[in-house]
Amino acid sequence: MSDVEKKTTRKLLIGSLALNVFLVGTVVGGTIIGGVLHHRPEGARHAPPIHSFANPRQILHEAAPAHRHAMVKLVRQDMKKLHPLLQDVGARRRAAIEAMSAQTFDAAATLQAFEALVAAETKAHAASNETLVRMLASLPDEERKRIVRTLRKGRPDQRRGKFRDHRPGKLDGPEEAPEPED
């Protein structure tokens, strides 16, 4: 093998080794760092977000920056009350999953677990609604009305009158939906 071939082979090996180290480092680092960044405590792991046509997060997102700071303080105060309720929802959800997957299925125990879950979710929804109302009450009337108009229009896919089907690439619903009247 000539000196030129040896140098070329050495450069290719070094380049290949550097690329492999980079790729392995990216995958391992991303997994470790990603796991740390996206870790949720066990109590909140199975707690669903509070979904509604309007929720505090949507209000914060839509609010003008001048009003957002005061509302963030309000939400942080209320989270002290809401966090344990969400943890309870997570615990009740886990209990319902355990009841459904028990070795010997007990319909009455499963129904009781679901009733406890509904009660926990109802408490969490009520607390979230109280926060939402406090947030809206802190806004000037015009800002509140603007936010509500925006929320009434729904998600971007709903604004076009298309509602998501759960299958990838599928939409159902009317092609054109009328704009809501204010």
The structure tokens listed for 31 are: 């997994």
Tens digits of per-residue pLDDT, 48-76? 455 556 678 888 888 888 888 888 888 88
The C-alpha atoms of residue 50 and residue 129 are separated, in whole angstroms, by 10
| pTM tops 0.85, yes or no | no
Q: How far is CA 160 from the centre of its chain?
A: 23
Tens digits of per-residue pLDDT, 129-158? 898 899 999 999 999 999 888 887 765 545
Are 157 and 163 in contact, with CB atoms under 8 Å apart? Answer: yes
